[in-house]
Structure 1
Amino acid sequence: MDPYTTAPRSSRWRRGVYAAGIVIPFTASQLWALLVLLRLAPLDGLVGQAIVLIGLGSVAAIWAGWRWTWQLGRDKDRQPAPKTRIPT
């Protein structure tokens, strides 16, 4: 371990937890609304096409929210470990 590296800051971890606390309820509500719509709406004609677009939009929103959460919680200051070369 390199003695000159700084310790990871806890604020990044806290931001990731807070972001997850926001994203998890919205993910659950998106999935619930989509399941209710799929159960109640007829899937023929324009309604079926609209449901497909709504489903794709829900997937994109969920993906963007979790990507945002991952980026907030990640420690960007950390450098990858150097590759060690084994002499042959």
Structure 2
Amino acid sequence: MTTPAGAAPLNIWSRSDEEIGRLMSHFAHTPFVLDGVTFGSVEAFYTWLIVSPARRPKVAPLWGRARSTWRRAGCRRTSITMAAP
């Protein structure tokens, strides 16, 4: 694969110097609707998948990195182990 002349890597990170990199991070406020549920960010969707159904309404609208925001919704650090196919 050849890189076009003048191309530069894109830093996708919530604290990126580039706006496009911040907007592409999981924590960015980029609301979307999936199966009738409005999520505030991709991170909210990922967290929604692993929390109890009782906590899902609090988690879905969240966005940002503020640990206190996620804790208020009742989220704790969680790890997911996926089995190999």
Q: TM-score, normalised by structure 1?
A: 0.25
More strand by share: 2
More helix by share: 1
